[in-house]
């Protein structure tokens, strides 16, 4: 059986050290893949990616890195992703992974001019999402966990915009038939995201935002978490 490839681009923040697992574990669990069916490649550490034809699907994790750094490992991974898209491999990019995928395909990524988006936010789907294989199972609006300072400011040519929030115009997109990017974190739950609010506390204050207010607004987001399971269903179909 071919495996799920998780492209590891970063790791959880230090305050989550005692919380079991990391991005890859949370993603695999949400998709319903057992660990013996998953291969994790740490591209930030210089590990090489396999031939795209040898894998069933790809998930790209979040990261503390910034796409605008255009580090060598990002360039190599972006080149690999364009080849995987061309071969029709199912891909799901999450947060940094969403941005890296968009950049690889010709989109523009930079710091969000509206500032940091962190905590639980409302994601709204576009009309195009109603016919999307991944997101059509979701309600028109739903809560989701977010944590990012950079965003996809311009989608790749030909990409379909699937969702937005008050702070970000591109919470989701699809490129072709089998590649998706999600700015929100479907692998995060209401226990994880408060750590990211605290992580950004000082920078939020500089934006005139209160971390305590954002912490009070944190809530469960079962609909967004269900996106991982839906992706797992699609790639097994």
Is 124 annotated in the active site? no
Integer Cα distance of 114 and 207 in angstroms: 9
Query: Contact, 100 vs 199, CB < 8 A?
Result: no
pLDDT at 1 (0 to 100): 59
Torsion of CA 223, 109, 52, 130, to 10 degrees: 40
Taking the CA atoms of 31, 89, 66 and 217 in sequence, report the sign of the dihedral they define. Answer: negative
pLDDT at 53 (0 to 100): 92
- Whether the per-residue pLDDT at 179 is higher than 80: the answer is yes
The residues that bridge with 147 in the sheet, in sequence order, are: 118
The string of pLDDT tens digits covering residues 57-78 is 999 999 999 999 999 999 999 9
The string of pLDDT tens digits covering residues 21-57 is 999 999 999 999 888 899 999 999 999 999 999 999 9
Is 187 annotated in the active site? yes
> What confidence category does residue 209 fall into, taking pLDDT thresholds of 50, 70 and 90?
very high
The string of pLDDT tens digits covering residues 93-148 is 999 999 999 999 999 999 999 999 999 999 999 999 999 999 999 999 999 999 99
**Mean pLDDT of the residues in the chain:** 97
**pLDDT average, residue stretch 144-161:** 99
Q: How far is CA 154 from the centre of its chain?
A: 17
- Exactly one of 69, 95, 98, 148 is catalytic; name it: 95
For the chain, list the domains and their CATH numbers.
3-236 (3.40.50.880)
**pLDDT average, residue stretch 156-182:** 99
- DSSP 8-state assignment for residue 52: G
Is 95 annotated in the active site? yes
- Exactly one of 117, 148, 187, 225 is catalytic; name it: 187
The string of pLDDT tens digits covering residues 190-199 is 999 999 999 9
pTM for the structure as a whole: 0.97
């Amino acid at each position: 059986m071919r495996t799920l490839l998780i492209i590891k681009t970063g790791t959880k923040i230090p305050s989550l050290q005692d919380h079991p697992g990391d991005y890859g574990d949370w993603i695999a669990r949400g998709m319903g893949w057992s660990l013996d069916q998953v291969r994790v490649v740490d591209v930030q550490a210089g590990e090489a990616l396999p031939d795209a034809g040898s894998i069933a699907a790809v998930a790209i994790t979040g990261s503390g890195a910034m796409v605008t750094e255009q580090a060598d490992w990002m360039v190599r991974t972006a080149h690999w992703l364009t080849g995987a898209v061309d071969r029709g491999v199912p891909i799901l990019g999450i947060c940094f992974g969403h941005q890296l995928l968009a950049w690889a395909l010709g989109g523009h990524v930079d710091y969000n001019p509206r500032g940091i988006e962190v905590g639980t936010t409302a994601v709204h789907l576009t009309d195009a999402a109603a016919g999307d294989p991944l997101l059509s199972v979701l309600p028109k609006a739903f809560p989701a966990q977010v944590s990012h300072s950079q965003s996809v400011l311009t989608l790749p040519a030909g990409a379909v915009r699937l969702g937005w929030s008050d702070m970000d115009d591109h919470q989701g997109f699809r490129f072709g038939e089998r590649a998706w990017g999600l700015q929100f974190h479907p692998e995060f739950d209401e226990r994880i995201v408060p750590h990211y609010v605290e992580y950004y506390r000082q920078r939020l204050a500089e934006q005139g935002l209160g971390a305590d207010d954002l912490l009070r607004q944190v809530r469960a987001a079962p609909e967004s978490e269900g996106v991982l399971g839906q992706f797992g269903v699609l790639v097994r179909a």
